A = this chain, B = another copy of it.
Amino acid sequence: MAVTIRDVARQAEVSVATVSRALTSPELVRASTRERVLAVAADLGYQPNLAARGLITGRTGNLGIVVPDLNNPFFTGVLKGVQSQARQSSYAVFVADSDEDPAAERDLVLAMAKQVDGVILCSPGLEEQVVRELARATSLVLINRRVRGIPAALMSSGSGMRQVIDHLVALGHGRIAYLNGPRTSWSNRERRRGLKAAVQRHGVDLVDLGPFPPRYEGGLQAADLALAEGVTAIVAYNDIMALGVLARLRDRGVSVPGQVSLTGFDDLMFAALCQPALTTVAMPVEPTGRLGVDLLLSRLGRDGGAIRQEELDTQLIVRATTAPPSDSRN
């Protein structure tokens, strides 16, 4: 059915070896032969069987990416960057969704390992020890998580949080709640770290709440707790939680940003579109995905480039959910 290298060889009246060379190392074959072979190949619509090629070269031309949830625009943003950069280097991309299950994450990476040249892993929660195990099974690049000895594409959430606190303090807020995401999440620890440093530097009060599930419902739940603490500003772990907070505050008749200021993190599409538009921190998701691919491919290169961990900048986006606290207005 499918046209193989043998068909091309026969039609071009050369050996299969010559066809292979004409296609993969053109300089090894005489120009006239090469042209004839290429012409026949194009004519027959020949496409090399990558599985067979991979079998012998040991390189599959495939990349894998494992994410916790394909419904989360943060991860699909990364995926989009990965896919586009991979395509530029003519790699194909396997995708797997672990449904937030760490055990599944491990199995998926392991299952992919045989079929890809490397895996990009978005797993804020997986135990470090398991991550190391996976790195032994295949070339691994982490997204937004730092583990010693493993390449990573990072977003400087610490600096994003600093910008958030600087902004809130400049507005006059003195008592701020942070709604933690999952304790085990690397991003949450990182964001919290940046936030604590900034808070300390400014000498304002921090109310550390949670952890909460990093979802809309988590925000609903967190909002009440934060309110009970009498804070004037709420910093949510991410936009989705922030949206939950916003909804809950609205339901309870608390005006944002009139009585309470609120910030998110991620700058998902709806952050700009909800009402009031959410002040948040923009994450360079697509660039990070692209960077991940670059890091991976550079490690796969001839003598395996250095293990690099590179950080891309985040950016505070001030919209309509932050304002001076109400008492400072009087």
Chain A interface (Cβ < 8 Å from any Cβ of B): 2, 47-52, 54-55, 60, 62, 69-71, 73, 76-77, 79-80, 83-84, 87, 92-97, 99, 110-115, 216, 243, 247, 250, 269-270, 273-275
**Quick one: given A55-B52, A275-B250, are A87 and B93 in contact (CB under 8 Å)?**
no
A79 to B99, CA, bound (A): 13
* Closest 3 pairs (CB-CB, A-B): A270-B270, A275-B275, A51-B51
Given contacts A71-B77, A93-B94, 7 further A-B contacts (CB under 8 A): A51-B60, A62-B115, A70-B76, A71-B76, A92-B112, A247-B273, A270-B270
A93 CB contacts on chain B under 8 angstroms: 94-96
A49 CB contacts on chain B under 8 angstroms: 55, 114
A95 CB contacts on chain B under 8 angstroms: 79, 83, 93-95
A79 CB contacts on chain B under 8 angstroms: 70, 95
**Quick one: given A47-B114, A114-B50, are A99 and B70 in contact (CB under 8 Å)?**
no
A45 CB, nearest partner CB in chain B, Å: 8
A75 CB, nearest partner CB in chain B, Å: 9
Nearest residue in B to A72 (C-beta to C-beta)?
A: B76
A85 CB, nearest partner CB in chain B, Å: 11
Residue of A49, A110, A115 with most partner-chain B CB within 10 A: A115
A84 CB contacts on chain B under 8 angstroms: 97, 99
A114 CB contacts on chain B under 8 angstroms: 2, 47-51
Contact of A83 among B70, B111, B113 (CB under 8 A): B70
Residue of A51, A62, A79 with most partner-chain B CB within 10 A: A51
What are 14 A-B interface contacts by the 8 Å CB criterion? A47-B110, A47-B111, A48-B114, A50-B114, A51-B55, A51-B60, A52-B55, A55-B55, A71-B77, A71-B269, A73-B76, A80-B97, A92-B111, A247-B273
A138 CB, nearest partner CB in chain B, Å: 10
Is A216 touching B87 in the complex (CB atoms < 8 A)? no
A50 CB contacts on chain B under 8 angstroms: 114-115
A82 to B37, CA, bound (A): 39
Is A92 touching B94 in the complex (CB atoms < 8 A)? yes
Residue of A49, A60, A93, A270 with most partner-chain B CB within 10 A: A270
Nearest residue in B to A270 (C-beta to C-beta)?
A: B270
Nearest residue in B to A115 (C-beta to C-beta)?
A: B50
A273 CB contacts on chain B under 8 angstroms: 216, 243, 247, 270, 274
A120 CB, nearest partner CB in chain B, Å: 13
Is B51 touching A113 in the complex (CB atoms < 8 A)? no
A60 CB contacts on chain B under 8 angstroms: 51
Is A80 touching B87 in the complex (CB atoms < 8 A)? no
Contact of A274 among B48, B69, B71, B275 (CB under 8 A): B275
A94 to B99, CA, bound (A): 18
Nearest residue in B to A87 (C-beta to C-beta)?
A: B96
A112 CB, nearest partner CB in chain B, Å: 7
A29 to B111, CA, bound (A): 25
A106 CB, nearest partner CB in chain B, Å: 12
A70 to B84, CA, bound (A): 10
Contact of A47 among B80, B99, B113 (CB under 8 A): B113
